Amino acid sequence: MRLVLRIGGSVIASPINPALISNYANLLKDLKKQGHEIAVVVGGGAIAREFINLAKDLGLDERVQDEAAISVSRIFALLFLQKLGELGCEAVSLTIEDAVKSLREGKIAVMGGLKPGMTTDTVAALIVKQANAELFIKATDQEGIYNKDPRKHADAVKLDHLSYEDLSQVFAEDKHKAGIHQILDPEAVKILRKRRVKVIVVNGFKPENVLSAAKGEKVGTLIA
Ligand code: UTP
């Protein structure tokens, strides 16, 4: 299967979790050996947001704030790629075309951010689109998608399954702001929705959830 895995910076980088990064690298090597074609997109998490705040405090505009966050995500991508050894692409992909090329050449493509004004969710969705991938997995800091924000509402209920149409109702914010944290970026959803790609949102702190998602087992929240 051709799949794109988006690992939240909130999972591997907030705080930095070397053991988890290594686990993910091993897991991806296993998935690759099982015959899957894989692209991974990582975010910069809390450190990226520290740099966004630094740029803000320096009076620098949102474009620069975004650029700083993108640079941080690419550092994580660089280290992640090194952990993949010869199964990984030659260098961190800086464009969607690069990532798709690596994927086609049978390497695991690794990418961070792409350009200001978007999130790594959208970067991953663009790879899905360009590579015609069948599955998008988001490894995030919650068990899946809830009917309302579980950080704000104790009675929020996790949804096992929802349609693209239902999904639009759970988003609070649809304008880009540097460092915004949402379970899935609505911009990315728009791209995925057009292609009706299968999306699975899982708790990324348990990498085995990603294996389950790739195997088609019931885990997290399925959007289809
Ligand atoms: P993300 O929100 O995509 O990264 O990017 P993350 O840390 O993995 O996020 P979680 O874990 O899902 O919350 C962080 C910020 O980096 C900038 C944006 O400001 C974004 O909010 N960014 C990222 C870009 O401007 N362009 C990109 O292509 C990627």
Kindly list the structural domains of the chain, giving each domain's residue range(s) and its CATH number in brackets, ordered by start: 2-223 (3.40.1160.10)
Ligand 1 atom nearest 141 alpha carbon:
11
User: Residues enclosing ligand 1, CB less than 6 A?
Assistant: 8-10, 43-45, 48, 52, 66, 69-70, 73, 113-121, 123, 178-181
Closest C-alpha residue for ligand 1 atom 5 = 119
Percentage helix, strand, coil, to 5, in the chain?
Answer: 45, 20, 35
Residues 107-124, mean pLDDT to the nearest whole number? 97
Ligand 1 atom nearest 114 alpha carbon:
28
pTM for the full predicted model: 0.94
Determine the distance separating the centroid of ligand 1 and the alpha carbon of 35, expressed in angstroms. Answer: 29
The pLDDT value given to residue 172 = 56
Residue 167 has pLDDT above 90, yes or no: no
Q: Give residue-wise pLDDT tens across range 53-89.
A: 999 999 999 999 999 999 999 999 999 999 999 999 9
List, in order, residues 6 or more apart from 155 with CB less than 8 Å away: none
φ/ψ region of 45 (left if φ > 0, alpha if ψ in -120 to 50, else beta) reads left
